[in-house]
Structure 1
Amino acid sequence: MKEVLLRTIENVDWITLILCCSIATMVLAKKIYYGRFANFIILPFNNKYIFLYNKKDKLSHWFTIFLSIFQLLNFALFLYYLDSIFHVTQRSTTPFSYMITLGVLIAFFFSKLILHLCNAFVFNIQGAISEFLFKKISYFNYSSLVMFIANILLTYIVKDSKIVIYISVLLIITINTLGWVTAIRNHQKLITNNFFYFILYLCTLEIAPLVLLGDYFKD
């Protein structure tokens, strides 16, 4: 009994460290770029953040980088809990499995980003793709706030709660769907003029990578 208790405390300790690191990145982003943060926090209800910062620095700005770190840390932990609760894979849920998940997500994130930028270079639409990516990443970074709250609840309050997972997934999908709708609406003319390439883009750079990522975690 004592051994089980110690193991549980140890598990919570490493998760607490991950959560503290993610909080630190968010606090740092807020402290250094308060104006950006104030506009970002109301993103689903007001597009001011997109309109103000879509033309400046975009993906390479440190505020976006801080939020992406926050997102990756919490996304990996959310997937860890998803696997732990629903037994999606046959892997044991350990700190090492979390690190593997985090590593795969980082590799996936950068590989997909590079493919997007290469595609933009080939078709000479760097500006449009950069703006499109900024919108998508901004909304996905915002949805990581939902992941963070879910991770807090699953760690300290309602452990192994499927309801928390279901609600969180629904909110994450809703936020990112809103981001997609906003991005498509803002680039409607470009998409209409290049509809075939847009469908090709969806299949090769959006759907296919997600299928491959899903197959990896399933296996």
Structure 2
Amino acid sequence: MEPISKTVESLDWMNIVLFFSMVVLALGKYLFQNKFLNFMILPFNNKYVVLYNKKGRLLNWFHILLTIFQLINLSLFLFLIQKTFYPIAPENYLYSFFIIFGGALLFQLLKMLLQLGKGIVFNTQGMVTDLLFNKTSYLNHSSLVMFVANIALVYIYKDSQIVIYAALILIISINAIGIFKLLKNHQKVIISHFFYFILYLCTLEIAPLVIVGSYLKD
């Protein structure tokens, strides 16, 4: 009988990533209980956005903590998608995760700075900040789905395409609800600044997706 080598995947770094993200979420819940409760029902009730859509909204600690939670789980979720559909060597797992995390962080920072810069140039800072806070809040909320999916993919249903597709449907649905409510609540402002809104969509929403999609396709 010949010995058969079997590669055992180490979950140590994934355990640390999930534990750290859980600590960040628990810290946000502990320090900002009322905000957290309103945040949890965001797709069903827009109270969170209405109450906390104020000056400095993007730089308050609750929003920052939830954005950190989102970045961690988004990066891990994208890594697990890559691992499922485009298998990579186990020794490259951590390297791939950090590349994805760095890319996601850089992408979101650059996009936010470009949006804020456009708002200053066209004197639409208020509308741009509203857009940013609303979109980021719904993306942060959808990271709760990513967190659950990550736990399932790491510990229970490893490399499950069904879990990935189900999570993607929920993530897209949550963010679609946010976009619909945003358009509904700001339809008068959007109509009065229709040219800037179309310019915003083409340059800062559609173009980045096209570029990322072309990169992934290649």
Same fold per TM (> 0.5)? yes
Kept in 2: contact 1:44–1:178 (CA 8 A): yes
- Verify: 1:214 aligned to 2:213, yes or no: yes
Distance 1:2 1:23, change over 3 A: farther
CA distance in 1, matches of 2:168, 2:63: 23
SS in structure 1 of the partner of residue 146 of structure 2: helix
Aligned to 2:65: 66
Distance 1:155 1:63, change over 3 A: same
CA distance in 2, matches of 1:70, 1:136: 15
Task: Give the number of equivalent residue pairs.
Answer: 214
| AA aligned opposite 2:193 | N
Q: What value does the CA root-mean-square deviation take over the aligned residues?
A: 1.7
- Using the TM superposition, give the Cα deviation of residue 143 of structure 1 relative to its aligned residue in structure 2, in angstroms: 0.3
CA distance in 2, matches of 1:141, 1:168: 14
Distance 1:111 1:40, change over 3 A: same
Aligned to 1:156: 155
Distance 1:118 1:56, change over 3 A: closer
- Using the TM superposition, give the Cα deviation of residue 3 of structure 1 relative to its aligned residue in structure 2, in angstroms: 6.7
CA distance in 1, matches of 2:39, 2:147: 16
SS in structure 2 of the partner of residue 177 of structure 1: helix
Aligned to 1:145: 144
Kept in 2: contact 1:58–1:131 (CA 8 A): no
Aligned to 1:36: 35
Aligned to 1:104: 103
Q: Deviations over 1:65-88 (max 9, x none)?
A: 10010001000111111111122x
Question: Where in structure 1 are there 5+ consecutive unaligned residues?
Answer: none
- Using the TM superposition, give the Cα deviation of residue 46 of structure 1 relative to its aligned residue in structure 2, in angstroms: 0.9
- Using the TM superposition, give the Cα deviation of residue 183 of structure 1 relative to its aligned residue in structure 2, in angstroms: 1.0
Moved more, 184-193 or 99-108: 184-193
- Using the TM superposition, give the Cα deviation of residue 213 of structure 1 relative to its aligned residue in structure 2, in angstroms: 2.6
CA distance in 2, matches of 1:35, 1:156: 32
- Using the TM superposition, give the Cα deviation of residue 179 of structure 1 relative to its aligned residue in structure 2, in angstroms: 0.5
Aligned to 1:20: 19
